[in-house]
């Protein structure tokens, strides 16, 4: 996902994919290092002004991420694309899904709250403060793209 993002936008601070490694039936992405400290370390000591600045920077990053072209017609990420949601599965979806409607059997418990016509956008999928690196009061990178991919527009809000 980070290679796709870097190919389509220089404004989104993500690590560069350097290679892939397969060991014991697990695949690891080798990426460039992004200098900074994780936001979860810094947050307790940040001033209100710095916290608002951080929020505004993250908003700008996500605003730049959403309009990127989709890397495939399938929801999720990886090759082949699969949906990854640790709230619903212990791993990945059992098959590739072409639309939000294909996700529905897996989210029956929230069906009354969902539409089936949300925009499908590129998303990080697993935002946590430890996935945001900061140098000073500037976000230097968004890391932890293991579950990044293509999901309905509400996905990031539900996950965070």
Q: What is the pTM of this model?
A: 0.71
How do residues 73-98 score in pLDDT, each as one tens digit?
A: 888 888 888 887 666 555 566 777 78
The architecture in CATH of the region 2-159 reads Alpha-Beta Complex (3.90)
Q: What is the DSSP letter of 82?
A: B
CA gap 112, 35 in Å, rounded: 43
| Separation of alpha carbons 160 and 152, rounded Å | 14
Segment 47-62 shows an average pLDDT of 89
DSSP code of residue 131? G
Q: Is residue 135 within a helix (H) or strand (E), and if so which, with residue range? A: strand 132-135
- The C-alpha atoms of residue 127 and residue 135 are separated, in whole angstroms, by 18
């Amino acid at each position: 996902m980070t290679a796709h993002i870097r190919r389509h936008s220089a404004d989104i601070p993500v690590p560069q994919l350097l290679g892939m490694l397969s060991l014991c039936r697990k695949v690891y992405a080798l990426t460039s290092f992004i200098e900074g400290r994780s936001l979860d370390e810094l947050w307790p000591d940040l001033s209100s002004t710095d916290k608002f600045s951080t929020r505004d920077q993250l908003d700008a990053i996500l605003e730049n991420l959403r309009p990127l072209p989709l890397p495939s017609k399938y929801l999720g990420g990886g090759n082949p694309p699969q949906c990854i949601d640790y709230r619903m599965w212990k791993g990945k979806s059992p098959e590739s899904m072409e639309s939000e409607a294909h996700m529905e059997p897996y989210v029956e418990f929230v069906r009354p709250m969902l539409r089936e016509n949300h925009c499908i956008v590129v998303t990080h999928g697993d935002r946590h403060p430890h996935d945001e690196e900061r140098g000073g009061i500037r976000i230097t990178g968004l890391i932890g793209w293991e579950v990044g991919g293509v999901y309905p527009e509400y996905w990031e809000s539900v996950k965070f």
